[in-house]
Structure formats: C-alpha cells, structure tokens
Structure 1
Amino acid sequence: MTTGSDKKRFQRISVLGAGAWGTALALTAVRAGRDVLLWGRNSENLESISCRHALPAYLPGITFDKPIETTTDITEAADADCILLVAPAQTTAKIAETIGLYVAKGTPIILAAKGLEKGTQRMMSEVLSDYLPQAVPAILSGPSFAADVARGLPTAVTIAAPRMTLAEELCASLSSRSFRPYASTDLVGVQLGGALKNILAIACGIVMGKQLGASAHAALMTRGFAEIQRLALKLGARPDTLMGLSGFGDVALSCSSRQSRNFSFGYALGEGHDLSNLMAPTAKLSEGAYTARVAVELANRNGIELPIAQAVADVLEQNTTIDEAVTKLMSRPLRAESDHIQ
C-alpha cells in the first residue's frame, strides 16, 4: 500500500507541453497537492495560464480552479521529482534529447503521447530509453478528454511503470477526487492500446461522417478492436490490459465522440473535407493520422494483418478513396470471428 511519505517522493512535478492535455494534467497534479511547473514555448499562452487561469486557445470556456506556475525554460522544468512529457509522438524524441543533460538518474518520466514514431516504429518508451537512459519510463493512457479533466469531471486512466510499487506511487501522486489512476506494469499494452485506438477512431469517424450507419460503426469498432488485440498481444501486451481502461475503455470513448480529435478528423474526411486542410500545421493534431502507416509497417514486420488500419493509411495517403476502401473491407474472405486471437 502506498503511504503518505511515498506521495512526497514525487512532490515536485513538471509537465512538458502546455497544450490542452498538458495543461489539464498540470491542473490535475496541482489538485493532487503537488508543486507543479508547466513548461511551454508560447509565452502568451503561458501568461494566460498563470495570470488569467485559462487557456482559451485550447480549452475555451474553462476557468481553472487552481493556479499553475509556468516557465519557458525547459532546463528549469527538467529539475523535478517526476516529469510528465506531454508532447506529440513525433516530437517526443526531440524534447527528450533536449532535456537529456538535465534529468537526474532514476527520475520517472510519464509519457502521455499516444502514437508510434514514424520511420523507426518505436513505442514512446523505446524512444525515451534511447535519449534518456538514466530516466525511468512510465505511461499514462486511458479514456480521457482534456476538457473533461480540466473541468474536474470524474476521469479514470492507467499509469504503467516497470515496477508495480513505482506505478502505485505515481498514481498516488496524481490522484484526486476527480482523477483516478490505476496502476499497471504492462507498458507495451498501455502504449499500444492508446496508439492503435487513434487509427480506429479515424475509421469510425469516417463511417459516421459518411453516414454509413450505426450498424457499420458498431461492426467497425468491434473488428478494429480485434486488430488492436491481434498486434498488441503479438508484441507482448497482456489481455487484461487491452480489456481495461487503456484498451477497450479508450476505444469506447474515442471511437464514438466528436470530442475526440481523431474521430472528428475522420468525421470531417467522411463529410468530404479536404485532407490537406485537415493535415495543415494549424489544424488540430490527429495522432492517428501519423500512426496509421507506422502501425501497418509494424504489423507487417510481425506477420499480422491489420486491414482496417491499412484502409485508413491508404485513404490518408490518397492511394484509394473512402468508397473503394469500404468495398475492399466488405469483400474480404469470410472467416471465423475468433481467428483474430490465434
């Protein structure tokens, strides 16, 4: 059992990334009684957070119930008992490299990005180990929208670490009346559940935006979850993790709500919006758009079929149309439903 003294081990917490999710997690840590420092690059946004207790650019209509201290000095933020690295998956390596000289040995770094690295197909914990071998990787994932967390609405997530005692201590350090983390040691399962569900959320968004019906949405969500299980189990994930918050729970949330960036991205595609506009630097980030092809490559390397992820990747790369992708999926050879677990 985690004691009060264990909580104090991670009293000074830094959050790297002052977007919607990073700010919401910083607010969570403050509510949990931690001393929090939030790092970001945009000084105007940071001033809004620290002085006006709001971040209208990312969290419109929300006024924070607790003050958050901010900084633009990443070396200052790297000096902490625990760090939450809340950066997009494709920039995680760069930030990890930047803070490499300033992070003390044994510091837990909780990764909150849900993606796989392009080119290398690495999970975020593998990226971190290359650039920060002295740190201890941990993962935070689960069904959670930044706006809900920022408002203090009830939310439950998973925090995975290499040792259960550490995972429990990290959970205790972030736990509050509205934020409930569950401990795990399955870093692979927690990461892959979060990364792969983003691809499925895009597919489900396309189906709903295209008005293909609730039946198609339910079928796609179910078969897509089978794909997640197929690849994740092959790579060492535990079945119970995939049926938990960071697996099925995250799928249930992200694949059925336009509050999800990936679902809303897919919805816009299904409605016929221009892909280049949706992928523009100023558009909201859809991690799944970058992860789809990487997941297919990783699956091919391991002899696993991901037809839904393949369809999403092909649509995003404009190798096929949405109508052609749907026809191809519906024309696949018939098979036993339970084949995906073999």
Structure 2
Amino acid sequence: MEETCVKQKVAVLGPGSWGTALAQVLAENGHDVHIWGDNQAQMDEINTYHTNRHYLPDLKIPDSIVAEKSLADAVKDVDAVLFVVPTKAIRVVAREFNQVVKNQPVIIHASKGLEQGSHKRISEVLAEEIAPENRQGIVVLSGPSHAEEVAVHDITTITAASDEENLAKYVQKLFMNDYFRIYTNTDVVGVETGAALKNIIAIGAGALAGLNYGDNAKAAIMTRGLAEISRLGVAMGANPLTFIGLSGVGDLIVTGTSVHSRNWRAGNLLGKGHKLDEVLENMGMVVEGVSTTKAAKELSESLGVDMPITETIYDVLYNGKEVRQACNDLMTREGTFENEFTL
C-alpha cells in the first residue's frame, strides 16, 4: 500500500446516518465516493437533492457523492469498500458483493454488533462470505462517534484495526483530516467486541436515566459494564488494554451518555415504562444493542464469563422484567471483589 493516500474510489454500502457521515468525510478528503442502499427513493433523493432527510435531516451531502441503485455499479473498480449496514444484513450484502465484485479492494466495516445464532464478529462474517481473491484484507473502523456530530465537523477520534497493519494505516490515511482523526490498532477482536457490547450497556444507562437516577448510577453502570465487556473480550482473545482505548471506554462514554445514541434512547424509553415493541417501532433506526444483548448472553454462557448487567438487561428485553425491579435485583446481589477478573 502506498505511503500517501492519493484519490481513491470508495463504495459505501449502507446510507444510514453513519454511512452518510463517513461518505461525507471521504468526499471532503477528495475521494471518489459512491453510496449504495436498497431504498431506491433514498438513492434518488441523494442524487437529486443531495440530502438524506430521514437520517441526517440538516446535512447537505457533497454534490460529488453518487448514489447507486446497483451494487455492481457501486463497487465497480473501487479501491475500498466500506460496509455500514446493520449487523443482521452483513452476511447477505457480503454474499451479494462477492458475486459482483471484479477486483480486489480493501474491505472496511463500521458496523457494530454480533451475528445472531453464530455469535460471530462482523469481520469473521465478511471473511467467510468474501473470497480471498475478492479482497485485500479486512479493516474495522470503530470508536466514539455520533454521525450527527461528524456531519458538522465536530472533533472525532476513532480506531482502524486490522491484522495487517499496512491496511490499517491505509484506512487511517483515507479518512484522516483536521476534524476526523484515526488511530491504528492490530487487536481486531478487542475493537469489534468493545464496539458491539457497549450498545448493551448504553441501553442500561438510558434505562437508569429513564428512572431518574443521576450521575452516580451512570458512573456505576458504565464502569461495571466496562468490566463485563473486558471479561468477555479477553475470553475471546482480545488485548485487555484495548478496552481502555477509543473503541472501549471511549465508545462506551459516547454511547452511554448521549441522546444521539439510539441505544441510550431506547433504554431511556424502557425506563420510562414503554414496552420494547413500541420503542423499536418508533425508533425508526436499528437498535443494535437489543440483538447484541441476546448474542452476548449466549456467548458469555458458552465461555463461562460472568456478565450480570448483560443478563439483567436481557431479562428486561426478552423476559419482560420490570426495569426498576431489575435494577434492584442487580444492586442486591451478593458482594464481590472489584478487581476480580475471573474468566
């Protein structure tokens, strides 16, 4: 890979809020950006009006960004492909991409979750579905970032992680500018695990806010939540230091404290007494933490990792447990040693 990132052709698969914001960063960095999604009216809106009102209503999308109705057209002769579709769609889109791609681009993903059933990380799914001859390698792009703030050039720092350090550096150069800073990492397991599991804790933090608890409770769930994330991540093979970095504590802070976070908002509504079906129906966007809670609970049980907060949130989401009772049960468990790191 070249030391300097000259103009590249990049396909962004997924025109949601995060995909659109990342496409804007790439376009402003001078790259040739093509964005693809399966909502044809949305593609027409981007091309005609240069807006994406459902996801980022105040954003004027750069005129240079081209929305493609055909996946084959979107990925034709690209240097890199950025997957930003919901976790449940990753395998389907990757399989279709594998059938239409004609060259060997760098594969990047900025989605956050674990696949239902298999409990696999997104990079594992991509590696299974995209043949080695159709990709150079896989890079994870993750960290504390709200699309709404990136869109208005708020200062943002995130991580590009890959087993191949040169590819992580390529992605770093591809995205980095004066408001969007990228750090590299080789701990793909840790970065993906932190990215997925923080959404669970954000639901819990939102629920506590919905119950009108204050900063003490917020600090408690985020700190002990990070302990759970770290335990499971290390059991999966991650470097524990990753969880005190951008894709660990950084992403947990931004997702667990902000109204921009759909996971926090969902939890907040649950804390206020709304039913899960009602919350998800009115959200208008995928709440990744709901499905990730189920995957993480099952994975933790299979690995023998203690995750009481995750189990409690699972009971609220899937067993209909009342939020205040769940909180009380969590607080009145038998006392434990804080620094215990039993796997």
TM over 0.5: yes
Instruction: Letter of the 2:71 partner, please give it.
Output: I
For residue 299 of structure 1, what is the aligned residue in structure 2? 300
The structural deviation recorded for 1:128 is 0.8
Equivalent position to 1:83, from 73, 81, 84: 81
Does structure 1 residue 30 correspond to structure 2 residue 31? no
Distance 2:66 2:151 in 1: 15
For residue 137 of structure 1, what is the aligned residue in structure 2? 138
Partner secondary structure for residue 333 of structure 1: coil
Distance 2:178 2:50 in 1: 20
* CA-to-aligned-CA distance 1:52-92 (integer Å, 9 cap, x gap): 22211110122235531110100112231100001000110
The structural deviation recorded for 1:223 is 0.4
Contact 1:50/1:67 (8 A) holds in 2 = no
Equivalent position to 1:92, from 90, 93, 100: 90
Rate the CA distance shift 1:105–1:314 in 2: closer, same or farther, 3 A.
Answer: farther
Distance 1:104 1:261 in 2: 36
Contact 1:14/1:83 (8 A) holds in 2 = yes
For residue 9 of structure 2, what is the aligned residue in structure 1? 12
- Segments of structure 2 that go 5 or more residues without pairing to the other structure are none
For residue 47 of structure 2, what is the aligned residue in structure 1? 50
The structural deviation recorded for 1:239 is 2.2
The structural deviation recorded for 1:236 is 1.2
Query: What TM-score do the two structures reach when normalised by structure 1?
Result: 0.94
* CA-to-aligned-CA distance 1:258-304 (integer Å, 9 cap, x gap): 11110011001111122111223873211001100100111111110
Distance 2:79 2:157 in 1: 23
Distance 2:172 2:51 in 1: 26
Distance 2:19 2:79 in 1: 17
For residue 41 of structure 1, what is the aligned residue in structure 2? 38
Contact 2:200/2:310 (8 A) holds in 1 = yes
Moved more, 88-97 or 152-161: 152-161
Structure 1 stretches of 4+ with a deviation exceeding 4 A read none
Distance 2:82 2:100 in 1: 15
For residue 110 of structure 1, what is the aligned residue in structure 2? 108
Rate the CA distance shift 1:64–1:341 in 2: closer, same or farther, 3 A.
Answer: farther
Instruction: Letter of the 1:62 partner, please give it.
Output: L
Moved more, 78-87 or 210-219: 210-219
For residue 122 of structure 2, what is the aligned residue in structure 1? 124
Contact 2:144/2:157 (8 A) holds in 1 = yes
Partner secondary structure for residue 107 of structure 2: strand
Distance 1:141 1:341 in 2: 27
The structural deviation recorded for 1:50 is 2.5
RMSD: 1.8
For residue 276 of structure 2, what is the aligned residue in structure 1? 275
Distance 1:307 1:127 in 2: 28
Distance 1:130 1:78 in 2: 19
For residue 229 of structure 1, what is the aligned residue in structure 2? 230
The structural deviation recorded for 1:247 is 0.7
- Segments of structure 1 that go 5 or more residues without pairing to the other structure are none
Query: What TM-score do the two structures reach when normalised by structure 2?
Result: 0.94
Partner secondary structure for residue 158 of structure 2: strand
Partner secondary structure for residue 99 of structure 2: coil
